[in-house]
A and B are shown apart, each in its own frame.
Chain A
Amino acid sequence: MTLQVTGHQWWWEITYQDPSPERVLRTANEIHIPTGRPVRLVLNSTDVIHSMWVPNLFGKRDLLPGLQTVIDFQADKPGVYRGQCAEFCGLQHARMGFLVVAEPPEAFDAWRLAQLRAAEAPKEPERQRGEQVFLRSSCIMCHQVRGTPSAGRVGPELTHLATRQFIAAGTLPMNRGNLAGWITDPQSIKPGANMPMTQIPPRDLQDLVSYLEGLR
C-alpha cells in the first residue's frame, strides 16, 4: 500500500494512491493503516523541509521540496501511534503532530470505504444552517467537503473531519468547544498558522460547529 505524504506549514496532507482515480483518498493529519501489511510512505514537501517521525513505528525521514523520499514500515500491533515533525520548519514546528492508527485489515477496509464516500447532506435544520454558514464564509477558500460546492485545496480536507481524533495537526482533541475556539481564533492557539481568524456570529458558529461535528 502506497501513501503520498505532503508536508505543509504546519500540517500533513495524506493521499492514498490507487490505480482507479475514484478510489484515491485525500485526508489530513491522521494516517490509517492495516496491521501486518507493508506500507510505503512517499514523502514530499510543498514549502520547507519537514521530517516525519513516529518513534514507536519508524525513525525519521525528511520531506524535501523538489526531492522524493520514502519510508517503508509495517505495524504489527493495532494501536494509535503519535508522530511529530522533527525538522525545524518555522513558527509552529511544535504543533505539527499527527496520528498513525493501525487497525486490523477488515476495520481498515471499512474505514477506507467510509472515507471515500462524499459527505451526507445534513438532515437536522441546525446542521443545514451550519452547512450554509460553511459555504457562505471564507472556509471554502481553503477547505473542501466533498459532496458540497466547496473545493479549497490549500488547507486540510474536511469531508470526514469528525472521525479524526485531533484538530489543528495533533494540537487539540476533537470536540465542540475546541472546534469553536479554533475557528474563531486559531492565532491564539497556533500563532502564525495560515488559518485566519473568522468573525462568525455566535448563533451561526453553533450551527457551523454542529455541521462539522456531523462530518463522520
Chain B
Amino acid sequence: MSVTESDRLKEQEEREDAGAPRDSTADEAELHRVLSETWGTKPGFWGWITTVDHKLIGRRYIATTFFFLFLAGLAAMVMRAQLAQPEGQVVGPDLYNQLFTMHGTTMMFLFAVSVMEAVAVFIIPLVMGTRNIAFPRLNAFSYWVFLFGGVMVWGAFFLNIGPDVGWFAYVPLSGPEFSPGKRADFWAQMITFTEVAALAVAVELIVTILKQRAPGMTLDRIPLFAWAMLVTAFMVMFAMPSVMVGSSMLIMDRLVGTHFFNPAEGGDVLLWQHLFWFFGHPEVYIIFVPASGMISVMLPAFTRRPVFGHLALVLSVISIGILSFGLWVHHMFVTALPQLGESFFTASSMLIAIPNGIQIFCWVATIVSGKPRYATPMLFIIGFIITFVIGGLTGVMVASVPLDTQVHDSYFVVAHFHYVLIGGAVFPLLGAVYYWFPKFTGRMMSERLGRWNFWLAFLGFNAAFFPMHLLGLWGMPRRIYTYQPELNWGDMNLFVSLAAVVVFASFALFLWNVLYSLRHGEPAGDNPWDADTLEWATSSPPPAYNFAHIPVVTAREPLWAERRALPVAVGLRTDMRELVITSVTEARPELRESSPDPSIWPLISAIALTGLFIGSIFTPWAVVYGSIPLTIALTAWFWPKGDKEDEA
C-alpha cells in the first residue's frame, strides 16, 4: 500500500501529542478494533438515542421519510377513490381538504426535501472520504426535530384537527377570520420544525463538502452528487428562511393579532404569496437538483464510462441553483401583476430550461457512447429521462402567461408537477435506493422484483398522470372534492384512479423488496456495481469509522484510476475521534479536527424545542416558558468537556 503522508499532519503530530496511538502504527485487525471502539455506537436503546453516527442517523432519516411517503400516498389513494366518480361519497369536503393538504405538505416538507437530505447525510461523508459528517450532534438534533414535527402534524390529522388550507396555506383563507381553530397553526408550526431540520442538514453538508474532502479531491474532482448537494444546501439556506418568516407572520396574525396579511388593516394578501413562492419555487429545484446528482453519479457505473460533460453538468447545476430564485412569480400569473413583471418571469422561467436541457443532453450522450447495463437503477434513469422531458415540456408551456392563465390551478398543472417531481425526483431516488442499498445494508435488492417495481411504477405513473393533462384542458380545477356528472369528467377520472392503484402497488412492491432484501438479499461486497466513487472503497455496510485509512484522491474517478489500491493518508489518532480538514479548493490537508462523541443533549434539546413550538400554537407565552428548558438543554449540550480543544 502506498502511503502519502502530509507534511503538515506530521508536523502537528510531532508538535503536540507525539505519543498518542495513530492509524499509521497499528496492524489492520488491531486498527479495526481500536477504531471501532473509538467511533462505535453503544448497543441498546441508550446507544440508539445518543448516536451521532451519520450512517445510523441517515438510515433512520431515510426510513422515516419513506414512512411519511406511504402516509401521503395513502391520502392520495383516498382522494382518488373520492374522485373516481362524480358526486363521490367516500369522504366529505372537510376530510378531503385535510387529505390534500396533508398529501401536499407531507410530500414536499416531510418527504421530498428530507429524503434527499437524508440520503446525503448517509452518503456524502462516505463520498468525501471522511469519518463523520460535520457537526454530527446537530445532525442528530435535526433528525429528532424533523421526526417530532412530522409526528405532530400527522397526530393532529388523526385527531381531526389536521390542516385543511392546502400545502400553500394562502391567506386570508388560512388567517384567523376564515380558519378558526388550530388547524392552520399546526401547518405553520410543521413548517418551522421541518425548516429548522432542513437548515441544520444544509449547514452540515456545506461544511462537510467544503472542508472534509479526502486529500487530493480538488474542486474539479468532486463527484457530481456532492456538487448537487452543495448547491442544494445553499439553496436551502436562502430559500427556507423566506417561508419560515412567512409562517411565523401567519402564526402571529392568528395568535397575537398582528395584521401582516389583513387587507382591512393595511396588510397585504399577496405578500404571503411572494414569501411562500420565493421559497416554493427553489423548493422544486431543491428536490430536483439532488436527484440530478444521483443520476450523474449512477450513470458511470451502468455505462462503464465517466459521465459526459462533467464541467457542463457542474455549471448547469450551479446555474439552476441561481436561476431558480428568479422565477417564483410564475406561480402568481393570475393575480394582479404588472405586464413587465409577467414578461420578466416568463423569460426567466424559460431560461431555466437551458441548463436542464444541457444536463439531459450530457446524460443521453453518456448512455449512447457507453456500454449500458440495464440493471434496475439504470431502468429508473431511462424512465426518469422520458418522464422528466415530458414534464419539462409542459413546464415551458406553463411559463407562458396566456397559456398559464388557462391551465393554472387546473389538473394540467397537477399532471405537470407530478411529471417533474415523480419523474424528475422520485424515479432517480428509487434508482438510487437500489444503487446504494448494498452500501446501506450490505445486501443487494432483488433484481427480479426491481424490474417489476420499475415497470409498474413507470407504466402506472404515465397512465395515472398523463390523462390529467386532458382533464385540465377540459376545465377540471384542482382541489375540488367532487364534480357534477354533467361535466363528463367521470370516465377519465375513473381511469386515473385505477391507474393510481397500479402506482401504489409499485410502491408496495418496492417496500416488500426492501424488507425482503434486508433479510434474504445477496451479500453485496464492497463495490458490487464496480462504481468509481469513494463510498465504494469501504465495506458494505461501512464500519463505524467509515475508512480504516483516509483515502487520497488522484483522479476524478478515484476507484477506476487506482485499481489495485487507493493511496491513503495516515496520522490520525485512533484513541479519539479525529477527522482530516482540507482546504476548500485544493483539498490540501490542513489540520486534524476532533469530532464529537455521542450525546443525549441533541435529543433533549429537540424535545424542549418541540415543547416550545407546540406550546406556541396555543399561547404566545410558550415562547417565554419554553425557552427555559431549551436554554438548559443547549447549555448542557455546549458545556466544555475539559478536553484540550474545547478549552483552546
Contacts and interface: CB of A to CB of B under 8 A. Distances in A.
B87 to A, nearest CB: 10
A47 B172 contact: yes
B334 A92 contact: no
B47 interface: no
18 contacts: A49-B170, A49-B173, A51-B409, A53-B409, A59-B334, A61-B405, A62-B336, A64-B270, A65-B172, A65-B263, A66-B268, A67-B263, A68-B336, A84-B477, A85-B477, A87-B334, A93-B479, A93-B480
A61 B479 CA distance: 17
Contact of A191 (B93, B173, B335): B93
B324 interface: no
Contact of A89 (B173, B267, B270, B406): B173
Contact of A60 (B97, B406, B481, B483): B406
A59 B408 contact: yes
Contacts of A92: 93
A47 B178 contact: yes
A203 to B, nearest CB: 31
A29 B181 CA distance: 30
Contacts of B480: 93-94
A195 to B, nearest CB: 15
Interface in B464-483: 474-475, 477-483
A150 to B, nearest CB: 27
B93 A192 contact: yes
B645 interface: no
Interface string A42-63: 0000011101010100111110
Contacts of B321: none
Given A47-B172, A60-B406, A67 B482 contact: no
- Which are the 10 A-B pairs with shortest beta-carbon distances? A66-B263, A59-B405, A94-B480, A55-B475, A48-B173, A88-B479, A60-B334, A59-B406, A86-B409, A86-B477
Nearest to A56: B475
Summarize B's interface: helix, strand, loop or mixed.
Answer: loop
A152 B293 CA distance: 62
A94 B93 contact: yes
Given A48-B173, A67-B269, A87 B409 contact: yes
Q: Chain A contact residues (Cβ within 8 angstroms of B): what range? A: 20 to 34
Interface string A1-29: 00000000100000000000000000000
A93 B482 CA distance: 10
Contacts of A82: 475, 487
Nearest to B479: A88
Nearest to B477: A86
A69 interface: yes
Nearest to A54: B475
A90 B173 CA distance: 7
Nearest to A190: B93
Interface string B327-363: 0000000111000000000000000000000000000
B402 interface: yes
B92 interface: yes
B170 A191 contact: no
Contacts of B178: 9, 47-48, 90
Nearest to A71: B405
B5 to A, nearest CB: 63
B173 A66 contact: no
B410 interface: yes
A88 B173 contact: yes
Interface residues of B, number: 38
Given A65-B263, A66-B269, A48 B172 contact: yes
A47 B171 CA distance: 10
A71 to B, nearest CB: 10
Interface of A: 9, 47-49, 51, 53, 55, 58-62, 64-69, 82, 84-95, 171, 191-192
Contacts of A91: 93-94, 97
A53 B477 contact: yes
Could you say which of A68, A82, A88 has the most chain B C-beta atoms within 10 Å of its C-beta? A88
Given A64-B336, A192-B94, A88 B408 contact: no
Nearest to B401: A59
B94 A60 contact: no
A40 B560 CA distance: 68
B260 to A, nearest CB: 13
B264 interface: yes
A89 B487 CA distance: 21
Contacts of A171: 484
Contact of B478 (A64, A67, A88, A192): A88
B558 interface: no
Contacts of B428: none
Given A47-B172, A65-B172, A86 B408 contact: yes
Contacts of A86: 334, 408-410, 477-478
B166 interface: yes
B12 to A, nearest CB: 61
Interface in B3-61: none
Given A66-B269, A192-B93, A49 B405 contact: no
Interface string B477-513: 1111111100100000000000000000000000000
Nearest to B409: A86
Nearest to B100: A88
B402 A59 contact: yes
A67 B338 CA distance: 13
Contacts of A64: 269-270, 335-336
Nearest to A97: B484
A93 B476 CA distance: 12
A162 to B, nearest CB: 20
Nearest to A60: B334
Contacts of A9: 178
A55 B489 CA distance: 15
Given A55-B406, A55-B475, A86-B410, A94 B481 contact: yes
Contacts of B408: 59-60, 86
B268 A191 contact: no
B335 A62 contact: yes
A68 B335 CA distance: 10
Nearest to A64: B269
A51 B479 CA distance: 13
Interface in B365-394: none
Contacts of A191: 92-94
Contacts of B409: 51, 53, 60, 86-88
